[in-house]
Structure 1
């Protein structure tokens, strides 16, 4: 590019010089004056003036050519400097791009490592949740069994005082165990919640929490063994009393539960559609209402588990009159409300569980929310 511009300028200067030089350097073949002797003094003055003008023009052209050459050299130097700067910029840009690519690769590797670490943490948290849920399910089953056996023992006619004393002892022991279990479960739930929000920064603490949970599970298992031993002795006593002193003609008893949870239930009768026992056919699983087939004294027991933290109150009602109430408070999830009532019924009286306050209830395929009743005399 620079060479072409230089050649063009030289060519233009040469053409202009050649054009001017025609006045003196070249002899015209078509001259009007065939002989110099015939030129007048006037014409000589004209030629002198033209010669002077040609000299001035040539000097100006030479000066202009030198100026152009100087400008061309300056332009060449500036262009060379610009090319060096562009080359330096390109080199630095390539280096910066290379450095950025390396940093991107490092970030990709770190991101992949963080994702893998997060996946491992999530798996450990899921394992802890499963263990905690298994413990909770086991405790729920134990409580249901304890309550059922307690109600059965309470229903014995003979040796009623001795059975009642044992029942009170078992009830107190059960309440203490339930309180301890709830405290431990709340502690475990809080620990799990903290792990879920900080699992990226508390990997080392997770091992300690796992050890703590394992210790709690071992403690629960030991407690369960104690309860099982107590229940075994009570069951043997109940069997002996049943075989020796119960009158099968007077038996009326039922236990029913719900097998699917509801987060929206907020009115009417709670229908326990899954019948576990219905001696005497007094309970109707379609309506949720127990109708006494014979007059007598009956015991009724209800267990209602709140849905998450939605708060729940239900009543045991006799002929539309509330007798006792349960409450699952909303300070923690899946709180259990229980209550029991002894009622004198006439034949045809109706007893059911009715909504009082809150929303929804929780259960499992093995019922956790149940309704029980039986005749004691």
Structure 2
């Protein structure tokens, strides 16, 4: 707007400069022309013309100065435009990065849902296998009882057999006892598997935690995910950002860490020992993001957390999250 005002003033000034009289007038009329002409000596006219020429040169210099100022204002506006265009390009790239991160998170959620569906399918298959095995064991137990009864009858009827015959019978009895012990072990193994399935079905251990705001962290500091979306089994502590194992078993953990000003350097820890690294480079326009997923066996009471291992950094809250759940006992 200031530039338009200056252009308007300049145009007005230029028009005024061209149209302004030189300082004297020539009048014509019906009388004697020689009587109406101003009586000015030739030297006075030259002085007057020189004065007007100096005035025009001064105005011309003023116009050139104004044009130079206009050029400076235009350069400033052009530089501002280029800066705004650069910031717009950076914002567009950041939005694209966030969209890609959101798509990756959605894919991970879909994979977790598929894993849960597979676990449900495995549970159904195991339940069917347990039922079939119980039926077979019941049938074999009945057959075994019949065989034992028959052998007992044979032993009673063959009380007058030789020592060799008795040794053979003892061998048969040992074979039957071994088979019975094997069947008993199979029953115990199946019962243990069934108990694990029942425990996982009625006592799930799973958590999903995010950040409610950006965090400024120093090196070796635990990332405290304080925004808990899911905490079945109450194993995750949002105040400390630490998960405590409630039972022995195999667990899976995954993490996404976003940094706004540093390369991502972090790790998943178990009892002060890192067992999975999380790292990602800093992009040209600023910011970095990395993820990791792993499996680990935990004993009851083991502690798991995510710890920042790089230089002091700002951790973004939009994409960062920490998840985990119990797979089996």
Output the TM-score relative to the length of structure 1: 0.47
Q: Distance in 2 between matches of 1:374 and 1:323?
A: 17
**Correspondence for 1:270:** 223
Q: Distance in 1 between matches of 2:315 and 2:87?
A: 21
Q: Distance in 2 between matches of 1:134 and 1:262?
A: 21
Offset of residue 330 of structure 1: 3.5
Q: Distance in 1 between matches of 2:111 and 2:103?
A: 12
Is 1:144 the counterpart of 2:105 in the alignment?
A: yes
**Match for 1:327 among 279, 291, 296?**
279
Output the TM-score relative to the length of structure 2: 0.54
**Correspondence for 1:279:** 232
Runs (5+) with no aligned partner, structure 1: 1-85, 161-244
**Correspondence for 2:213:** 260
Query: Where do residues 310-325 of structure 1 align in structure 2 (5 Å cutoff)?
Result: 310-325=262-277
Offset of residue 158 of structure 1: 5.8
Is 1:99 the counterpart of 2:60 in the alignment?
A: yes
Q: Distance in 2 between matches of 1:262 and 1:104?
A: 53
Query: Where do residues 132-281 of structure 1 align in structure 2 (5 Å cutoff)?
Result: 132-154=93-115, 156-157=118-119, 248-281=201-234
**Correspondence for 1:209:** none
Q: Deviations over 1:59-97 (max 9, x none)?
A: xxxxxxxxxxxxxxxxxxxxxxxxxxx999976654442
**Correspondence for 2:320:** 369
Is 1:301 the counterpart of 2:254 in the alignment?
A: yes
**Correspondence for 2:136:** none
Larger Rg: 1
Q: Distance in 2 between matches of 1:137 and 1:331?
A: 13
Q: Distance in 1 between matches of 2:220 and 2:48?
A: 82
Query: Where do residues 71-150 of structure 1 align in structure 2 (5 Å cutoff)?
Result: 94-115=55-76, 117=78, 121=82, 124-150=85-111
State the SS of the aligned residue for 2:219.
Answer: coil
State the SS of the aligned residue for 1:362.
Answer: strand
Greater helix proportion: 1
Q: Distance in 2 between matches of 1:313 and 1:253?
A: 25
CA 1:130/1:265 → structure 2, altered by over 3 Å: closer, same or farther?
Answer: same
CA RMSD of aligned residues (A): 3.5
State the SS of the aligned residue for 2:313.
Answer: coil
Give the total of aligned pairs: 209
CA 1:133/1:375 → structure 2, altered by over 3 Å: closer, same or farther?
Answer: same
* Aligned 8 A contact 1:298 1:345 in 2: yes
* Aligned 8 A contact 2:253 2:295 in 1: yes
State the SS of the aligned residue for 1:256.
Answer: strand
Which has the larger displacement, 294-303 or 95-104?
95-104
Offset of residue 290 of structure 1: 0.3
Runs (5+) with no aligned partner, structure 2: 1-46, 123-197
CA 1:343/1:136 → structure 2, altered by over 3 Å: closer, same or farther?
Answer: same
State the SS of the aligned residue for 1:305.
Answer: strand
Offset of residue 101 of structure 1: 0.8
* Aligned 8 A contact 1:312 1:361 in 2: no
Q: Distance in 1 between matches of 2:213 and 2:295?
A: 28
State the SS of the aligned residue for 1:267.
Answer: coil
Offset of residue 323 of structure 1: 0.7
